[in-house]
Amino acid sequence: MGEISMKKIMAAAIAGLGLALAASAVSAQAPATLAQVKQRNILNCGSNTGLAGFGVPDAQGNWQGLDVEYCRAVAAAIFNDPAKVKFIPLSAKDRFTALQSGEVDLLVRNSTWTMTRDAALGILFTGVNYYDGQGFMVRKKLGVTSALQLSGASVCTQQGTTTELNLADYFRANNLKYEVVAFASSDETIKAYDAGRCDAFTTDASGLYAERLKLTAPDEHIVLPEIISKEPLGPSVRNNDPAWFNLVKWVHYAMLNAEELGVTKANVDEMLKSPNPEIKRLLGTEGKFGETIGLTTDWVYRIVKHVGNYGESFEKNVGQGSLLKIARGQNGLWTKGGLQYAPPVR
CB within 8 Å of 46: residues ≥ 6 apart: 88, 90, 95, 98, 99, 103, 104, 106, 107, 108, 109
CA pair distance 326, 330, nearest whole angstrom: 11
Please say which residue, 313 or 340, places its beta carbon nearer to other proteins.
Answer: 313
Shortest distance in whole angstroms from residue 63 CB to other proteins = 8
Question: Smaller CB distance to other proteins: residue 121 or 333?
Answer: 121
> Residue type for 327, please?
A
Of 61 and 143, nearer to other proteins (C-beta) is: 61
- Minimum separation from the CB atom of position 17 to other proteins (A): 6
CB of 196 to other proteins, least distance (A): 14
Q: Which residues, in sequence order, are CB contacts of 80 under 8 Å at separation 6+?
A: 302, 306
What secondary structure does DSSP assign to 172-189, as a single string?
A: HHTT--EEEEEESSHHHH
Task: Specify the residue, 50 or 343, whose C-beta has the smaller distance to other proteins.
Answer: 50
DSSP SS3 for 13: helix
Give residues in contact with other proteins (CB under 8 A): 17, 20-21, 24, 49-53, 56-63, 86-91, 93-94, 97-98, 100-103, 187, 194, 210, 213-217, 322-324
User: Least CB distance from residue 98 to other proteins, whole Å?
Assistant: 7
Our CB check for other proteins shows the closer of 188 and 286 to be: 188
CB 34 within 8 A of CB 245: no
Closest approach, Cβ 171 to other proteins, in A, equals 29
For 112-185, where are the alpha helices, taking DSSP H only? Answer: 115-120, 162-173
Report the distance separating Cα 194 and Cα 213, nearest Å.
11
Contact 237, 248 (CB under 8 A): yes
CB 89 within 8 A of CB 209: no
Q: Of the two residues 21 and 222, which places its CB atom closer to other proteins in the complex?
A: 21
Find the shortest distance in angstroms from Cβ 21 to other proteins: 8
User: By C-beta, is 15 or 173 nearer to other proteins?
Assistant: 15
User: Minimum Å distance from CB 305 to other proteins?
Assistant: 23
